[in-house]
C-alpha cells in the first residue's frame, strides 16, 4: 500500500493547489460551507433556464443573460457547498474566478464548462452593447442554452459528492 494523504470525506482534492493560489491572491474567499445556499443557487439556475427557453426565438438578447446566469449560479453552487466564493473585488473578476476554480477542480473533465468562457464574454457584449457589436441570433442563444443545460446538469451531479474545502 502506498502512502497517500488522507482527504476529509467529501473533500474534492482535484485542483487543490489552484484553489489555494486563488485564495492567496484574493480571487476566492472562504465562507461557511452551505448545502442550503448551494441548493438555492441550483434552484435559481433551473428557474433561469426555464424562464429563458421561451425567449430564445422571441428575444435572444433577453434570454442570453438568464442563460448565462443559470450557468454561473450552478458553478457558484459548487463553491458554496465547499465554503468558497468569488471575491467581488478580485483583480481576476468574480465571474472569471468562478470559471477558473471550477475548471481547476474538474481537471480533465473541465471541457464540460469550457463554453462558459465565450458565454461570459458574449454576455458582457449584450449587457454593455455598442453599435459595432454583432447582434445575438436565436441560433447562438439556443447553443448557449444547450451548453448551459449541460453545465447545470454536470454541476448537479457533482454537488452531492462535495464537502468543505
- Residue-wise pLDDT tens digits, 112-151: 999 999 999 999 988 898 999 888 999 999 999 999 999 9
pLDDT of residue 13: 83
Cβ–Cβ contacts within 10 Å for residue 125, how many?
16
The CA distance from 157 to 154, in Å, is 5
The CA distance from 108 to 140, in Å, is 26
pLDDT of residue 42: 98
pLDDT of residue 92: 87
CATH for 28-160, options being 1.10.8.870, 2.40.50.140, 1.20.120.330, 3.10.180.10: 1.20.120.330
pLDDT tens digits along 60-99: 999 999 999 999 999 999 999 999 999 988 888 999 999 9
In terms of Cβ atoms closer than 10 Å to its own Cβ (0-12, 13-18, 19+), residue 106 is buried
Average pLDDT over residues 107-111: 89
Q: Is 49 helix (H, G, I), strand (E, B) or coil?
A: helix
Cell numbers placing 122 = 458574449
Amino acid at each position: 500500500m502506498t502512502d497517500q494523504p488522507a482527504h476529509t470525506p467529501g473533500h474534492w482534492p482535484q485542483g487543490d493547489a489552484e484553489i489555494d493560489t486563488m485564495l492567496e491572491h484574493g480571487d476566492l474567499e472562504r465562507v461557511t460551507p452551505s448545502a442550503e445556499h448551494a441548493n438555492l443557487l441550483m434552484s435559481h439556475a433551473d428557474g433561469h433556464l426555464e424562464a429563458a427557453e421561451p425567449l430564445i426565438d422571441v428575444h435572444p438578447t433577453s434570454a442570453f443573460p438568464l442563460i448565462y446566469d443559470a450557468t454561473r449560479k450552478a458553478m457558484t453552487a459548487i463553491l458554496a457547498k465547499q465554503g468558497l466564493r468569488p471575491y467581488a473585488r478580485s483583480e481576476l473578476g468574480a465571474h472569471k474566478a468562478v470559471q477558473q476554480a471550477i475548471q481547476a477542480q474538474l481537471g480533465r473533465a473541465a471541457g464540460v464548462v469550457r463554453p462558459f468562457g465565450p458565454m461570459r464574454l458574449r454576455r458582457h457584449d449584450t449587457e454593455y452593447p455598442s453599435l459595432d457589436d454583432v447582434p445575438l441570433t436565436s441560433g447562438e442563444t439556443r447553443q448557449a442554452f444547450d451548453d448551459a443545460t449541460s453545465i447545470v446538469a454536470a454541476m448537479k451531479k457533482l454537488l452531492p459528492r462535495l464537502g468543505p474545502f
